[in-house]
Copies of this chain bind each other. A is one copy, B any other.
């Protein structure tokens, strides 16, 4: 079978733009793909840095207006790596132009936008994907397989934290991720969204939630200049923080399982501590992104004398995605979650299937984010519902 090249136009070239570029470039080097990504056009507003990024990451051309990009005939797929407030307009326009749409998470800044995006791709009948990349850790895929195979039995508990500390210093400036009009929310949409996705992937749909969003530092220095990572240079003027610093909530799943969730940027010492534990009648599993090549597994059926949490190194050729890379014990890293996601999504598309996770997953995720936010205001449990009140 001859390979098909999928020409990609990507909006955004910061952290996520770099990760997506790498994934598109590397996926065909490790996986056999019938459809292969082609890094066609990189889009951004600032010409100089845009060109530099394009050259660095290996894009053929640049474009400074996303509206022009989504109308180009030579582009098959639009990758939306811009800030949250641009997800809806770009995605909808891309869909209306018949492009496949792959969008960063969270899908949008509001549930309403997310629903509109989902309707747009459905209406256009185009493939769509959302970059919940942590599903694509081999260890998480193995966890999913174990649950599907019934190894964990009836699930009782899901508990997850996503802990970071990059804004814990009160003098850290007001970067765009702390501005509600651009980012939509703080830790909530940025990282709680990730553990919500993992919960849905592994345990299923949510019924109701009760939560609390907290902003510890309510004023920060305004931004004088950005840097190319997550930070920036502080000015002497202060401004209002309009997003949450931390999000915590309880949940009840449709299955009867219960869950606890916490996401914060104030866990000093925790850098990227995305950890979950699932307890079922047949055993338990633990995952921690900072040691993403490992999965802990307790098998209740092992003999009482010998049982205990076992540390599975998910790098054996029998583990999901592992055979594409290196011999057992030779670990992969953060970037490979994107490579796996791209390889799997392109493989599905080449077979006529939609990638997973999809905009449907994005909308359901957003509905949970939304319910927690409502609950934080109402001070009571709220039903998760795609039809907002």
Encode contact with B along A206-229: 1 for CB under 8 Å, 0 otherwise: 000011101010000000000001
Across the interface, which residues of B come within 8 angstroms of A333, CB to CB?
Answer: 293, 325, 330-333, 336
Distance between A212 CB and nearest chain B CB, rounded to angstroms: 6
**A308: CB under 8 A from chain B?**
yes
Across the interface, which residues of B come within 8 angstroms of A67, CB to CB?
Answer: none
Q: How far is the CA of A125 from the CA of B258 in the complex (A)?
A: 45
**A346: CB under 8 A from chain B?**
no
Q: In chain A, residues 106-149, which have Cβ atoms closer than 8 Å to a Cβ of chain B?
A: 142, 146
Across the interface, which residues of B come within 8 angstroms of A381, CB to CB?
Answer: 379-380
Does the CB pair B272–A284 fall under 8 Å? no
- From known contacts A214-B258, A309-B310, infer whether A268 and B246 are also in contact, taking CB-CB under 8 Å: no
Does the CB pair B307–A156 fall under 8 Å? no
Encode contact with B along A292-308: 1 for CB under 8 Å, 0 otherwise: 11100111101011111
Q: How far is the CA of A246 from the CA of B379 in the complex (A)?
A: 22
Q: How far is the CA of A16 from the CA of B125 in the complex (A)?
A: 44
Encode contact with B along A310-341: 1 for CB under 8 Å, 0 otherwise: 11110111110000011111111111100000
- From known contacts A216-B156, A299-B306, infer whether A279 and B272 are also in contact, taking CB-CB under 8 Å: no
Distance between A180 CB and nearest chain B CB, rounded to angstroms: 20
Partner of A157 from the list B146, B246, B290, B380 (CB cut-off 8 Å) is B246
**A266: CB under 8 A from chain B?**
yes
Does the CB pair A300–B210 fall under 8 Å? no
Q: How far is the CA of A333 from the CA of B248 in the complex (A)?
A: 32
Q: Kindly specify which of A43-51, A96-104, A159-167, A234-242 makes contact with the partner chain.
A: A159-167
**A386: CB under 8 A from chain B?**
no
Q: With CB as the reference atom, state the residue of chain B lying closest to A273.
A: B329
Across the interface, which residues of B come within 8 angstroms of A201, CB to CB?
Answer: none
**A283: CB under 8 A from chain B?**
yes
- From known contacts A292-B331, A329-B290, infer whether A316 and B297 are also in contact, taking CB-CB under 8 Å: no
Chain B CB count within 10 A is highest, among A56, A170, A267, for A267
Does the CB pair B15–A327 fall under 8 Å? yes
**A72: CB under 8 A from chain B?**
no
Across the interface, which residues of B come within 8 angstroms of A315, CB to CB?
Answer: 271
Q: With CB as the reference atom, state the residue of chain B lying closest to A211.
A: B250
**A29: CB under 8 A from chain B?**
yes
Does the CB pair B331–A334 fall under 8 Å? yes
Q: With CB as the reference atom, state the residue of chain B lying closest to A210.
A: B210
Partner of A29 from the list B57, B229, B318 (CB cut-off 8 Å) is B57
Q: How far is the CA of A161 from the CA of B316 in the complex (A)?
A: 21
Q: In chain A, residues 243-287, which have Cβ atoms closer than 8 Å to a Cβ of chain B?
A: 246, 248-250, 252, 256, 258, 260, 262, 264, 266-273, 277, 279-284
Q: How far is the CA of A142 from the CA of B156 in the complex (A)?
A: 31
**A25: CB under 8 A from chain B?**
yes
Chain B CB count within 10 A is highest, among A19, A57, A300, A309, for A309
Does the CB pair A268–B262 fall under 8 Å? no
**A348: CB under 8 A from chain B?**
no
Q: Show 11 A/B contacts (Cβ-Cβ < 8 Å), sorted by A.
A: A15-B326, A157-B246, A157-B267, A216-B256, A260-B260, A268-B283, A268-B284, A269-B279, A290-B293, A293-B333, A333-B333
Which 6 interchain pairs have the tightest Cβ spacing? A272-B329, A271-B329, A269-B298, A310-B310, A333-B333, A380-B380
Q: Given A166-B328, A267-B279, list of 5 further CB < 8 A pairs?
A: A164-B329, A212-B258, A268-B283, A272-B329, A333-B336
